[in-house]
Chain A
Amino acid sequence: MTTTTDLPPAEPAAPPPLDAVGFARWCWRQLTSMRIALILLFLLAIAAIPGSVLPQRGLDPIRVNDWIEGNPTWGPVLDRLGFFDVYAAPWFAAVYLLLFVSVIGCVLPRTRLHWRALRSAPPDAPRRLDRMPEHRSWHTSAASTDVLDSAYADLSARRWRVARGDGWVSAEKGYWRETGNLLFHAALIALLIAVGYGALLGWRGNVIVREGSGFSDTLTQYDAWGGGRLVDPAALPPFAFILDDFRVEFERDEAQRGAPLLFEADLTLWPTPGSPSEDVVVRVNEPLSIDGAKVFLVGHGYAPELRLTDALGRIVHDEGVVFLPQDGNLTSTGVLKAPDATPSLGIEGLFLPTAAVDDVRGPHSTFPEADDPAVFLSAWAGDLGLDSGVPQSIYRLDTEGMTQLGIEALRPGETWAIPEGNGTVEFVGLTRWASFQIAHDPGKEPALVASIVALAGLMMSLFIQRRRVWVRASADAQGSTVVTVAGLARSDEADLAPDVDAVVDALDGRRDRP
């Protein structure tokens, strides 16, 4: 996959030999050829496209399920083929792994060649310098050895690699171009390894924390957690925090009304169990670093406080219920499950921070701030299915096998007597919640270093020009010396005139030239 500018064109493709070794060798040559590398590059680009069009499990599992349900024919097929997790699919891995094998197969031999070139002198000067694309020639009274001596000294002083022969000086410059090229490709391989290393040893979890409640970094406290194969989930850094306050502000001007302006979470943090607590602030773009892990603020919403009293008069629930935002104005949905109530109750809710109702959209929120909050509740009685062993979301109520008791809209402070004497629900007040992503990725620093090296190598390989300059000097029939300076670019775009002119100037060629 490296550039072949300096190499002879590849021999025309021969048919594959039939014996095993020959065939393997043929495959290797094909794989490491530029043509195949190019095809693999474009395959990689094409393979990446479905992941941006179809919903992806890693980003939005709910939309994936909706998509599969909405497309009963294609959904399951695409699912089996890994189209909802493209970047972890075997066929995607096959493309990039083949590409990297191809890169390695190209970089290794070229490294050997380049190493050899670095240790050897520039090749002899060609006989006919006037055939070179850039050349100058003149007569001088100086002796040819003096001319070549000063050419040698001048080119060496300007850090060319110089060789001297009978009647000629040969110089070459720009070896860093190939060094950069090799560095770039090697750094890409290092980047892939760093990403893989991070995937094996890194972990990431998400947790929703209500204002006033806390979190301690153990597996069971996470709402979702995923880690690499080599991670010990029992050995997470043992910090803990309480979310004291979450501040959020929204744009109220007509332009971009409702756009968030500020997210800020005040935490009381215990870096290790028993250590003194400290007050910290986590903002978007300003994660909290602790013990190799980082705590990012990634989301927020409302948690209406609902007090549920059952038919026997027992308070079975009395705290905030996390409602998940459904749109930019934080129209949110949530579920309260009370299996211990008599009868066991499930309450579905729609929370509107700034409530409005119209015929088309039904109840919805018109602004994300709690200017005029209301909660629309629907109470169900019956088996919640919590004992069935089937895992279920705490944000969804499976109403199959349940009976709807009634619906009601509540403002803060209002109480609803659930019909048929099934208890009461009071909308006590509001708190907010914030969601945090807590992540540890040991591969990210190596990945950054690899990217920076790749960028540096890339710039070297594009901006440095590999070029050769030659000087020939010999006595002519009249006893004066003929000097010829010529240059040749070994990379496409080099402009050689300045190099050749510099040598001409150093040899006083301009003064001597007619």
Chain B
Amino acid sequence: MTSGSLAEWSNLAVYSSMLVLVAALIAFAVSLAARGQRVISPSLVSVGAGLPATDSGTTVAAREELTPGHRAGNIAMALTWLATGLLLVGLVLRGLWASRAPWGNMYEFSLAWTFGILAVFLIASLRRDIRWLGLPVIFLSILSLGLAVTVLYTEAAQLVPALRSWWLIIHVAAAVICGGAFTVAAAISALYLWRDRAERKGRVTGIVASLPDAARLDTLAYRILAFAFPLWTFAVISGAIWAEYAWGRYWGWDPKETWAFITWVIYAGYLHARSTAGWRGRRAAYISLLGFVSFLINYFGVNIFVNSLHSYAGL
């Protein structure tokens, strides 16, 4: 296989992954619509909404016949696994083609970030039923992949010398996984706000009824961010170590560093808010969304609009 065809195979894998994701999106939508429709009588609301997180095998089997849209949900999950696998193949081929870690420019970083989103979602789904989260997660994944292949695509081959370091693998891999976790947490926080409003108004009907109750959404977002925050801390520290080697200072308030710091501070605020009376729940959810916005500014804003040492967009 020549190196040119490696790149073509990588692109093919990425496009296939997108197609499968679209199919998964449809399946998730069907599943959600079916679950939402069924909840008409109040007695069934509690069944649909209150299913415990850690079902043993027997109750899952029993529920399979109970819950409409379950089969569509299973198909959607299988498609998500397939799409994630295809994306991984695309990333690996891209890395083989360029003979380096496949996150050297914005196109590749977006692929990796999408992989991060899907991986965090799938790993979380191993321990609990989070198919209700499929629709927004897959939607965001398609969005970021779509941006990657249309706007951000570069034929980029080699890296500028400053990027050629082991730290590229470590530092960016940590940032990629955090990006995935921040995205999934933001999706959950948004759903929390929706669900919480419905619960306050006492009108938990339709699709919002197929979401877990607000308290569980809150906990799940927290768990993901409690995992992501130390990792983000690590990403910042490893970036500082690398900056010391490459640029002669470990911290220089370069715009990328500044926004990484702002993102860190916001998520630190989130963790503190969650353990402060009066800041739990809604405010914490808004902070989680704010942190995600800050991450997006750091990624898109700084790379494209600001003159930063990190401007490796290749655009």
A contact set with B: CB distance below 8 Å: 1, 3-5, 9-10, 34-35, 37-38, 41-42, 44-45, 48-49, 51-53, 56, 58-60, 86-87, 195, 204, 251, 253-256, 259-263, 283-287, 294, 296, 298, 437, 439, 441, 444, 447-448, 451-452, 454-455, 458-459, 462-463, 492-493
Contacts and interface: CB of A to CB of B under 8 A. Distances in A.
A155 to B, nearest CB: 25
Interface in B167-190: none
B161 interface: yes
Closest CB pairs A-B (n = 4): A255-B155, A296-B248, A3-B275, A52-B255
Contacts of B262: 45, 48-49
B219 interface: yes
Contacts of B278: 35
A41 B268 contact: yes
A52 B306 contact: yes
Interface stretch (B38-46, B70-78, B140-148, B230-238): B230-238
A461 B283 CA distance: 22
B218 to A, nearest CB: 10
Interface string B244-264: 111111111111001101100
A5 B275 CA distance: 5
Contacts, number: 145
B266 A45 contact: yes
A435 to B, nearest CB: 11
Contacts of A263: 161
Interface of B: 154-158, 160-162, 164-165, 219, 222-223, 226, 229-230, 233-234, 237, 240-242, 244-255, 258-259, 261-262, 265-266, 268-269, 271-279, 294, 302, 306-307, 314
Given A42-B265, A455-B230, A462-B226, 10 more contacts: A1-B272, A41-B265, A44-B265, A45-B269, A49-B262, A204-B248, A254-B155, A255-B157, A294-B248, A448-B237
Nearest to B164: A285
A48 B261 contact: yes
A285 B165 contact: yes
Nearest to A447: B250
Contacts of B246: 284-285, 296
Residue among B241, B273, B275, B279 with the most chain A CB within 10 A? B275
Given A255-B154, A493-B222, A38 B279 contact: yes
Contact of A493 (B223, B266, B279): B223
A86 B255 CA distance: 12
Contacts of A298: 247-248
The residue in A38, A263, A439, A444 that gathers the most chain B C-beta atoms within 10 A of its C-beta is A38
B157 A87 contact: no
Nearest to A448: B241
A287 B275 CA distance: 44
19 contacts: A1-B272, A38-B272, A38-B273, A38-B276, A42-B269, A45-B266, A48-B262, A51-B258, A52-B258, A256-B156, A261-B161, A284-B246, A285-B161, A294-B248, A298-B247, A298-B248, A451-B240, A492-B274, A493-B223
Nearest to B278: A35
B160 A260 contact: yes
Given A51-B258, A262-B161, A462-B229, A285 B253 contact: no
